[in-house]
Amino acid sequence: MTYEGRGGSKCRRWVKKNLLAGLELPDFAALQPIAQAWVDTVANVRLHAATHQRPIERFAQEARSLGPLNPNGYELATISHVRATPTCRVALDTNHYSVPPHLAGRPLMLKAWPDRVCVYHAQQLVASHPRCFDRHRDIEDPDHVRQLQAQRASAREQRLMVQFLALSPRAAAYAQGLQTKRANPRGHIRRIVALAEIYGREALTRAIDDGLELQAFSAEYIANILAARQRRTPEPAALTLTRRADLLELDMPEPDLSVYDRHQGLDDAKPT
């Protein structure tokens, strides 16, 4: 049945009043079997006011003149061109639907059917959601959330590695040793970068060099050697004396040796 021109407008109004008026549908998927039953039992078997024939009989006459149907079907979706937001969303009506995080800010094509919403990038399907007819809802695919979390974690790890490699020309070799010797190398790298803020880059560079020399790969070793060097007191410098008093050039009176003579005299006077 085609609804063109003024007659088409009348037919649409008749369908609304005869089929849809008062009809409660749990979802759009339920409309197809209801509409098919209505067409077979009401619309196609009534006597048409203009042709004075039943549509089912008129169609049998016209069928011989009809060409084959398009084997590819027809695109019934509403198509719009949108741009993903920085939060990885595309808008339809008042609702927002998630897209993969790498498409944030990209131009996309959105196709909306009564039951679903599909998003395309470069003619490739990148997101599909059940269509929501509520208002101001955020419809999110859990896979998109996991991708975003993984992307953010990867970015944090990259920034951490850049900070670690900037600590020393030999930091890359030490990182390789951590990868080989430790089950959680990223945790050790994170703690070593934190130690640089406490002890300074120069001290940490020396500690990394020591670790490579001794093949000791751990954040604990780096922390211990930094703490030990901080506790070490500086070596005393050579003593420099500049004043006469400091040179121990003291004025002292001559010793009185007569006391020895008196003692010697007393010894001689004693009887034997």
Domain-embedded: residue 258: no
Domain-embedded: residue 250: no
CA atoms within 13 A on the CB side of 211: 29
The two tokens of residue 107 are 């131009």
Q: What is residue 253's predicted lDDT score, i.e. its pLDDT? A: 76
Number of structural domains in the chain = 3
Per residue in 206-233, pLDDT (tens digit) is: 899 888 888 889 999 899 888 888 776 5
The owner of tokens 């506790």 is 231
Q: Are residues 95 and 49 in the same domain?
A: no
Q: Answer whether 38's CB lies under 8 Å from 19's CB.
A: yes
Domain-embedded: residue 265: no
Mean pLDDT, rounded, for 186-200: 89
Confidence category of residue 110, pLDDT binned at 50, 70, 90: very high
* Of 65, 94, 115, the domain-final residue: 65
Q: What is residue 4's predicted lDDT score, i.e. its pLDDT? A: 42
Confidence category of residue 3, pLDDT binned at 50, 70, 90: very low
Q: Which domain holds residue 35?
A: 5-65
Domain-embedded: residue 150: no
Confidence category of residue 239, pLDDT binned at 50, 70, 90: low
Q: What is residue 267's predicted lDDT score, i.e. its pLDDT? A: 57
Characterize the bridge pairing of strands 138-139 and 95-98: parallel
Q: Are residues 132 and 101 in the same domain?
A: yes
Q: What is residue 51's predicted lDDT score, i.e. its pLDDT? A: 83
Q: What is the mean pLDDT of the chain?
A: 83
- 68 has pLDDT over 80: yes
Per residue in 76-107, pLDDT (tens digit) is: 899 999 999 999 999 999 999 999 999 999 99
Q: Are residues 170 and 223 in the same domain?
A: yes
CA atoms within 13 A on the CB side of 26: 3
